[in-house]
Amino acid sequence: MSKKVLGAAAIALALCCGLQARGQQKPQLTDPEIASVAVTANQIDVNYGKIALKKSRNADIRKFAQTMVTDHSGVITQAVALAKKLKVVPKTNAVTKQLQDGAKATEKKLNGAKGSAFDKAYIDNEVSYHEAVISAVNNVLIPETQNAELKALLVKVAPVLQEHLDHAKMVQAAIEK
């Protein structure tokens, strides 16, 4: 397993198990903490996409990266608007911090790669990252969310994340040939 995939696995661990240290079966997040995790996870993928747009010359990678920037920026906009409407202030928490730490390490690795090695590292990370985020959304964030509107936003975003994963796997298969 590559270090880039391990970075994404660490993010999955942060998303799914970040608060287990307190002896909980799974993270117990409040709605403000869930809002923070959701915005942070989306911003991380926007950042990865921007790196790919700067570094890659592969048309499939660039198209995918632009989709990530556009779609995840849109989710952030929706989440921030909903948080304002609900008067929910996103609250940084252990999961958010672990996501940010994992992202810094991944960004460093991505920025250090070049050419086809970058393309492979980026798309491998995107596959792993989306698998982790989908798992976290379905198994932690949606079940933990108390506010119906916030839960509805997460439910609405879940199929889009699956589309991203499917697209990433398609690009991954194409560049591995």
Spell 71-93 as b/e; 16+ CB within 10 A means b: bbeebbeebeebbeeeebebeeb
pLDDT digits (tens, 9 = 90+) for 121-166: 999 999 999 999 999 999 999 999 999 999 999 999 999 999 999 9
With vertex at residue 30, the alpha carbon angle to CA 28 and CA 35, rounded to the nearest 5 degrees, is: 120
What is the model's pLDDT at position 177?
79
Residue linked to tokens 């608007």: 81
The average pLDDT across 38-51 equals 96
15-37, pLDDT tens digit by residue? Answer: 544 433 334 455 589 999 999 99
Q: What is the pTM for the complete model shown?
A: 0.85
* 12 — pLDDT class (breaks 50, 70, 90): very low
pLDDT in tens, 59-84: 999 999 999 999 999 999 999 999 99
Tell me the Cα Rg of the chain: 16
Q: Which residue has the higher pLDDT, 30 or 3?
A: 30
